[in-house]
């Protein structure tokens, strides 16, 4: 009767919780490198987008960007017939194109980081749950040891009382 109730409770667990319980019962490790797992799932486009987003958010990019802008402005104002005279319409077009391309690439990279964070959070949950189950099992073992010691002490007291009474 008791085993069927336990089996029913186990079947009500989620697949994740059942997997963790199985690992606890077989004393298997749950910890794993989620970063490496996640990297294996990335496509070439994902890696490229991450590199572009990383470069686009760096001081190197800002330095190059400011240098190119200043060079563009100086080149087109210093020469009377520059290729993009003063209101710099071509420059505005280039800047708009960069912004239009950079924004979705950064969003793709952020979405992937959110996926990685969710994977890390799930892994943390698995490790924490296993640790909690292991701690509960240790408490049971300690309680059992404590009861055994109390039984032994009680038996010893009984023997001592028998010997002390004439």
Residues 6 or more apart whose Cβ sits within 8 Å of residue 19: 126
Tokens describing residue 45: 């486009």
Which residue would you say has higher pLDDT here, 8 or 162? 162
Rounded Cα distance between 101 and 110, Å, is 15
CA distance 125 to 74: 57
Distance in angstroms (rounded) separating the CA atoms of residues 66 and 152 = 81
| Per-residue confidence (pLDDT) for residue 2, from 0 to 100 | 62
Q: Is the pLDDT of residue 8 over 80?
A: no
Report, as an integer, the average pLDDT of 25-38.
82
pLDDT of residue 6: 62
pLDDT score of 28 more than 90: no
Under a CB-based contact definition with an 8 Å cutoff, are residues 116 and 33 in contact?
A: no
**pLDDT tens-digit series, residues 53-85:** 999 889 999 999 999 999 999 999 888 778 888
Global pTM reads 0.64
- Write out the two tokens for 44: 């070439």
Reported as a single tens digit per residue, the pLDDT across 97-152 is 999 999 999 999 999 999 999 999 999 998 898 888 889 889 999 999 999 999 99
Q: Which residue has the tokens 């697949």?
A: 15
């Amino acid at each position: 009767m008791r085993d069927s109730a336990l089996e029913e409770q186990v079947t009500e667990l989620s697949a994740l919780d059942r997997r963790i319980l199985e690992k606890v019962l077989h004393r298997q490790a749950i910890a794993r490198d989620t970063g490496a797992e996640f990297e294996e799932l990335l496509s070439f486009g994902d890696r490229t987008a991450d590199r572009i987003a990383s470069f686009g958010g760096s001081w190197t990019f800002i330095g190059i960007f400011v240098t190119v802008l200043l060079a563009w402005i100086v080149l087109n104002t210093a020469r009377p017939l520059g290729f993009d005279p003063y209101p710099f319409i071509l420059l505005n077009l280039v800047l708009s194109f960069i912004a239009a391309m950079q924004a979705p690439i950064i969003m793709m990279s952020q979405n992937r980081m959110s996926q990685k964070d969710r994977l890390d959070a799930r892994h943390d949950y698995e490790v924490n749950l296993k640790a909690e189950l292991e701690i509960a099992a240790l408490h049971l073992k300690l309680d059992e040891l404590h009861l055994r010691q109390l039984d032994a002490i009680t038996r010893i007291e009984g023997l001592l009382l028998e010997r002390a009474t004439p």
